[in-house]
């Protein structure tokens, strides 16, 4: 049976969201139940998602723009720069407004214990969902999140990860709600899965990756390296051998204004409510990822 996925994304900032969505659309084992977008210019982010869905021949996938502002702090991600490439690709321009959270809630209630919620952006939509309906985490098959830094503080990155710090209060709310499976793939692991721009242009030959490659040129203008943060999180849902996980407890820093959103990890193999990725096999990931896209 296919795995039912709900995707919450800030597609349009870092290119890895589009790389992830292309993978989900191409994966024959994935039933994409819907997409919600988050942070600034949520409608343009929805248009970017629709461009990939249309390219994949999956116009039926529901897409809902979600929260554009964090719960309490100032917005740090107000625009979706990759939307500059939209005019080259067919895409939807209008979407239901103010319905993202209710869509997620209704879909999960309609399919109890069947849906994996995959979050690859700031957690504002998900915090609102869990707060409005505390039964939701228990109705999910699992929650898989790209976010946080847990075991190794990377040189040059500081102690904070982008998705977690953009809305730290939302991050804290989501970690406080327990799901049957609550997995996090953090920056300390995802940063081991990278590809330079030259290799990306060489490898992105699949039809569904053509718009992604176009979007990526806006990204490469500022960075010569693509890091596969979000697609790694998605791939772990379908191939459990790509990453190694450990159980424990995640707490989110809120007291210090300078460190809000920092994730604190305590191993607890017997009773921890969360799982974090400890290790990754990059070659296995790339073999899996391109195997899915090239077979589509």
148 in Cβ contact with 161 (< 8 Å): yes
In the structure encoding, which two tokens stand for residue 24, read together?
């989900």
8 — phi, psi (to 5°)?
-115, 120
Q: For residue 215, is pLDDT > 60?
A: yes
- Could you tell me the residue ranges of all domains in the chain? 3-295
Give the tens place of pLDDT for each residue, 172-213: 999 999 899 999 999 999 999 999 999 999 999 999 999 999
E strands within the chain? 3-9, 30-37, 63-65, 115-119, 142-146, 182-185, 194-196, 225-227, 243-252, 263-267, 274-280
Give the tens place of pLDDT for each residue, 73-109: 999 999 999 999 999 999 999 999 999 999 999 999 9
> SS3 of 145, please?
strand
**Parallel, antiparallel, or unpaired: how do β-strands 243-252 and 263-267 relate?**
antiparallel
**The whole model's pTM is what?**
0.97
Sign of CA dihedral 37, 39, 42, 47: negative
Give the tens place of pLDDT for each residue, 222-266: 889 999 999 999 999 999 999 999 999 999 999 999 999 999 999
Partners of 226 in the beta sheet? 195
Residue 151, pLDDT score? 84
Percent of the chain at pLDDT > 90 equals 94
Q: How confident is the model at residue 159 (pLDDT cuts 50, 70, 90)?
A: confident
> SS3 of 251, please?
strand
Residue 222, pLDDT score? 87
Residue 157, pLDDT score? 60
Give the tens place of pLDDT for each residue, 28-73: 999 999 999 999 999 999 999 999 999 999 999 999 999 999 999 9
Architecture of the domain delimited by 3-295: Alpha-Beta Complex (3.90)
pLDDT averaged over every residue in the chain? 95
């Amino acid at each position: 049976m296919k795995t039912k996925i709900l995707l919450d994304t800030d597609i349009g900032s870092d290119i890895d969201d589009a790389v992830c969505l292309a993978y989900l659309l191409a994966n024959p084992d994935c039933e994409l139940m819907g997409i919600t977008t988050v942070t600034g210019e949520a409608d343009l982010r929805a248009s970017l998602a629709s461009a990939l869905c249309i390219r994949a021949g999956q116009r039926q996938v529901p897409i809902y723009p979600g929260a554009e502002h964090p719960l309490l702090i100032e917005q740090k991600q107000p625009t979706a720069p990759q939307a500059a490439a939209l005019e080259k690709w067919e895409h939807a321009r209008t979407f239901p407004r103010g319905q993202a959270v209710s869509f997620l809630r209704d879909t999960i209630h309609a399919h109890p214990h069947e849906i994996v919620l995959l979050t690859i952006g700031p957690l504002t939509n998900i915090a609102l969902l869990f707060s409005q309906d505390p039964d939701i985490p228990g109705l999910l098959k699992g929650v898989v999140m790209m976010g946080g830094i847990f075991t190794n503080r990377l040189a040059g990155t500081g102690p904070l990860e982008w998705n977690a710090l953009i809305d730290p209060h939302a991050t804290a709310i989501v970690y406080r709600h327990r799901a049957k499976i609550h997995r996090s793939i953090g920056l300390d692991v995802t940063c081991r899965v990278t590809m330079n721009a030259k290799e990306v242009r060489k490898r992105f030959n699949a039809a569904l990756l053509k718009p992604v490659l176009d979007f990526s040129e806006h990204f490469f203008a500022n960075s010569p390296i693509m890091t596969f943060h979000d697609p790694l999180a998605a791939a772990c849902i379908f191939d459990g051998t790509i990453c190694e996980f450990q159980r424990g407890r995640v707490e989110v820093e809120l007291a210090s204004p300078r460190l809000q959103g920092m994730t604190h990890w305590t191993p607890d193999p017997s009773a921890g409510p969360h799982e974090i990725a400890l290790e990754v096999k990059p070659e296995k990931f790339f073999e899996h990822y391109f195997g899915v896209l090239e077979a589509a």
